[in-house]
Amino acid sequence: MRVLVTGGSGRLGRSVVSVLVDRGHQVTSADTAPAQLPAGVETVTADLLDPAALEEAFARARPEAVVHLAGIAVPFARPDVETLQVNTGLAWAVLSAAVAHGAHSAVAASSPTVYGYNTPSWAPRYLPLDEDHPVAPWHAYGLSKSIIEDTVRALARTSPTCVLTCVRPGYVVAPEEWEGAPTQQGHTMAERLADPALAAVSLFNYVDARDAAELFALVIENPARLRGGQILNAMAPDPLAPGPVDTLLPRYHPTTAGAAAALADGRAVFSSEAARTALGWIPTRTWREQLRATTDQP
């Protein structure tokens, strides 16, 4: 299948491109920055907010499916207005182009930040957090991702031939980051595990980039199993903590105390059950396995 991946040079994008190539797809990667990608991948260096560059990328790729990852990838990395404009503008441009160019499926990357945690007043209605839980973003990045989800739903309402969906990858860990390379917050994964305050910022969630990439592949390979506008969480099934987080979570997020007991069995704060049910996605790379090869973690 011909697949266009936007943001293919990024932390998640590199793994998505590699997984799609390994599964036999013909991949075109479009990004503002070049990167070392697998042999046979066609690369397009372009700003897809430029209508002419967007049209050229689609004309070259002739995609049957689109994986949209491009955008500002970290909260507070750029001014708020720029984050909103870039992320929402790219989503509308790329996803509407996917429909116009006849792709049968298109999936965009959202984020668990849409839930709105890390404010003094945020309290989950229940745990673990699934796709039915209300969202309440409070910063520009989370709001941009919530708007991307609404964009997917809006386009899905009028697209009878293209199945548009969203995936919410958790804290993405690239393969080299298990080996000590800095993560998106500047510290290592071993440091993130050793200091609970670091992992608490994202409610102890994580996902290996390769596992997340496999879900994106399953989404575009199986559009008939999904409904237009569907949202899927994509996190590892265990928290990034040495044990259950039922007591650890309220220490850093006191408003979760009433719901945290549901995590006493070792489950993660987020549920990805919908992805398993719809597509059989089961993430297999856990921090215990990945860190054991390079650290003395138990």
The three-class DSSP label of residue 70 is coil
Report whether 234 contacts 215 (CB < 8 A): yes
Taking 90 as the threshold, does the pLDDT of residue 294 lie above it? Answer: no
Token digits of residue 293: 């090869």
Taking 80 as the threshold, does the pLDDT of residue 298 lie above it? Answer: no
Rounded to whole angstroms, the Cα distance separating 265 from 110 reads 28
pLDDT band at 224 (very low <50, low <70, confident <90, very high): very high
pLDDT value of position 34: 86
Q: Which CATH class is domain 2-171+208-236+269-284?
A: alpha beta
Q: Cα dihedral sign for 120, 126, 128, 130?
A: negative
Tell me the average pLDDT of the chain.
96
Taking 50 as the threshold, does the pLDDT of residue 297 lie above it? Answer: no
Taking 70 as the threshold, does the pLDDT of residue 295 lie above it? Answer: no
Beta strands per DSSP E along 73-228: 105-109, 163-169, 172-173, 207-208
Q: What is the pLDDT of residues 84-106, one digit of tens each?
A: 999 999 999 999 999 999 999 99
Taking 50 as the threshold, does the pLDDT of residue 27 lie above it? Answer: yes
Query: What is the mean pLDDT of the segment spanning 192-217?
Result: 97
pLDDT band at 227 (very low <50, low <70, confident <90, very high): very high
pLDDT value of position 292: 65
Q: What is the pLDDT of residues 41-81, one digit of tens each?
A: 999 999 999 999 999 999 999 999 999 999 999 999 999 99
Q: What is the pLDDT of residues 111-136, one digit of tens each?
A: 999 999 999 999 999 999 999 999 99
pLDDT over 90 percentage in the chain: 95
Rounded to whole angstroms, the Cα distance separating 239 from 246 reads 10
